[in-house]
Amino acid sequence: MNPFELAHSALMSCNIDEKIELTNKLYFDSLNEDLNYKINHHLHKIKEPGRPPKPNLVRFQNVPKRDNSNVGMIKTIHAICHIEFNAINLALDSVYRFRSMPEKFYKDWIRVAFEEAKHFKLINNYFNELGYNYGDFSAHNGLWTMTYETDYDVLSRMALVPRVLEARGLDVTPKIQKKFKNSKFTKMSDILDIIFADEIGHVKIGNYWFNSLCKQRGLEPLNTFDKLLKKHVGPKLRGPFNFEARKLADFSQTELDYLISS
């Protein structure tokens, strides 16, 4: 079977249930060795992936403010749900977009897509229990924007999406989790336990492929990362950083020192 065609179908589906169903099929076909990663398939530039009509996408500055009130916590749950939905598309695009990579690359990102879909379902189901639906609040499009801006090169994608945007989740999740634990939304804290453990693995995959590609191209990783960061993000990353989690995700001590000094 054609993994790129299946990944594209999942990526472009605007129906949430269908997107998850196709993502799961891609994963189980991968486990069963039913996919041919050497097959040819026409590559399309994708400005916008498939998504439902809601949430309304706004600029980051216009996203509803979130505090520690019950409504603020509900908005935080929605924001995390939106991140996980976007992360499904992010992983699917990595499968679809970058050709002539080793088979392990595709299997890695297919697994990431499957796990992101699992995360989305866990949060969305809980959100429904609370009487809300995904799309009830406005959201921003930052994760996909970076995905689109790095579609020209797999090295840039691996440098910036898992190692910057997803790694930021490792930095902020423990603090968010503590807020939920001290609220009436304790179930969300348990869900974040599952997500946090998986996300360490996702960032680790990004680190593996970034460093492998640097080695293949004869590039020094830290200098390469610094140049790409300045090109796409800005002069430096903002902390605080969860160094323990980043170590588990295979950031080197040199990279952690870079984060401290930048």
Structure tokens at 142: 């930052």
DSSP state of 139: B
**Among residues 76, 94, 84, 77, which one has the least CA distance to residue 117?**
84
Question: pLDDT per residue over 239-252, tens digit each?
Answer: 999 999 999 999 99
Provide the pLDDT for residue 111: 98
Residue pLDDT, tens place only, 21-65: 999 999 999 999 999 999 988 899 999 999 999 999 887 666 667
What confidence tier does 67 reach under pLDDT thresholds 50, 70, 90?
confident
Angle between helix 70-97 and 186-217 (nearest 10): 30
Phi, psi of 110 (to 5 degrees): -65, -40
Tens-digit pLDDT profile for residues 187-218: 999 999 999 999 999 999 999 999 999 999 99
pLDDT score, position 113 = 98
State the Cα–Cα distance between residues 146 and 157, nearest whole angstrom: 8
Higher pLDDT, 27 or 71: 27
Output the average pLDDT for the chain.
Answer: 94
CATH fold for domain 3-39+60-261: Ferritin (1.20.1260)
Share of the chain above pLDDT 70, in %: 98
158-194: pLDDT as tens digits: 999 999 999 999 999 999 999 999 999 999 999 999 9
pLDDT 10s digits, 104-148: 999 999 999 999 999 999 999 999 999 999 999 999 888 899 999
**Where along the chain do its domains lie?**
3-39+60-261
Cis peptide before 221 (omega within 30 of 0): no
In this structure, what are the phi and psi dihedrals at residue 46, rounded to the nearest 5 degrees?
-115, 105
| Per-residue model confidence (pLDDT) at position 41 | 81
pLDDT band at 17 (very low <50, low <70, confident <90, very high): very high
Q: What pLDDT shows up at residue 62?
A: 62
The pLDDT value given to residue 34: 94
pLDDT (0 to 100) of residue 143: 84
